Structure formats: structure tokens, C-alpha cells
Amino acid sequence: MPSLTLHRVPASTVQPLRFAILRPDRPYAESIYPHDDDPETLHVALMRDGVVLGSVTAMRQPIPEQSDPTQWRLRGVTLSPELRGSGYGKMLINIGIGYAARQGASLLWFISSEYAVPIYLHLGFMIRTDLSFLDPNSPNPFMWRPLTPEDRDLGDPSLDRAAP
């Protein structure tokens, strides 16, 4: 079987997997995120034989109602079901953390899927409930963690180069 490989790719390469895994019941346009095409936004695809089986996106985006440009957002963390539970998800998340840290991010935040909350808690992220824009009844919590200088060593710096 061909091996799995990682590639920095344009947003359009990962949007179909986001749609299939994260929002299959919503319009496709919701899988196209603001800032997807910003030059510094990172999209990495985990691929086998040309097929995208996993993805991660990291983008500069302040927390809503804040304006700190050192705040980065993790988005579109996806993995095909057959690959889950073997460390590939952590690998993708670490790629996003490491890239954001190397761009000078002070923290990484995201709105988690219900499914992934225990995984992110295990990986050291925390839940915040005190932000005024949050819906207290949502099953999708706001999660975050500050980034440290050590985080710059995470992921794969060779993927930091812009996509062709």
C-alpha cells in the first residue's frame, strides 16, 4: 500500500475533506473559511496515493471581539475514520501548533467539535466559557492554550514553505 505523505497545499485541496467529515449536513460554502486564502495561512494535507485523508489549518485570527494579531486559530482538523486512534491526529495538531508558534503566535484557539474535546483536553488545551460571544448552550466549546518557545519545535518546519 502506498505510504502516507504530508504536503502544504492550497485551501481548495482540504475543503472537500472538511465538508465530508466536519459539515456534511451544511452548505459546502461553510467549509470555506475566512482567511483560508491568506498567504500566511497553513493548510497541510495527509495524503495517500493522491487522496486527502487528513488535514489541518492554522491561521492568524484574533479571538472575536479582541484585536491581538498574535492570536492564531486552529481549524479544519480532520482525519478519515480508518486512520483515527494511531497518532495521526496528534501529528496534524502539532503541525498547526508548531507553525503558529514559529510565526510568533502567543496562543492558539478554536471551537472544538464535541467528539474531539477529550482529545484536546488530553493534549493540554483548556475550555473557556467566559467570552461574551459564546453560546452557553452550544456543545462546541471554545478551547485554547498559550504557546511557548518549546512549541516552535513541534510539527515539521519543512512544511512551512509556501505551497507551490
Ligand X SMILES: CC(C)(COP(=O)(O)OP(=O)(O)OC[C@H]1O[C@@H](n2cnc3c(N)ncnc32)[C@H](O)[C@@H]1OP(=O)(O)O)[C@@H](O)C(=O)NCCC(=O)NCCS
Closest separation between CB of residue 22 and ligand X, Å? 6
Nearer Cβ to ligand X, position 111 or 148?
A: 111
| Residue 89 or 155 with smaller CB distance to ligand X | 89
- Judged by CB, which is closer to ligand X: 107, or 123? 123
Choice between 28 and 104, CB closer to ligand X:
28
Between 105 and 142, name the residue whose CB sits nearer to ligand X: 142
CA distance 125 to 118: 10
CB of 24 to ligand X, least distance (A): 11
Smallest distance, ligand X to C-beta of residue 157, A? 20
DSSP string, the chain: -PPEEEEE--HHHHHHHHHHHH-TTS-GGGGS-TTTT-TT-EEEEEEETTEEEEEEEEEE-PPTT---TTEEEEEEEEE-GGGTTSSHHHHHHHHHHHHHHHTT-SEEEEEPPTTTHHHHHHTT-EEE---TTS-TT-SS-EEEEE--GGGGGSS-GGG-SPP-
What residues make contact with ligand X under the rule CB under 6 A? 21-22, 77-79, 84-90, 110, 112-113, 115-116, 118-119, 122-123
Closest chain position to ligand X (CB): 89
Minimum Å gap between C-beta 164 and ligand X is 26
Q: How near is the Cβ of 108 to ligand X at its closest, in Å?
A: 12
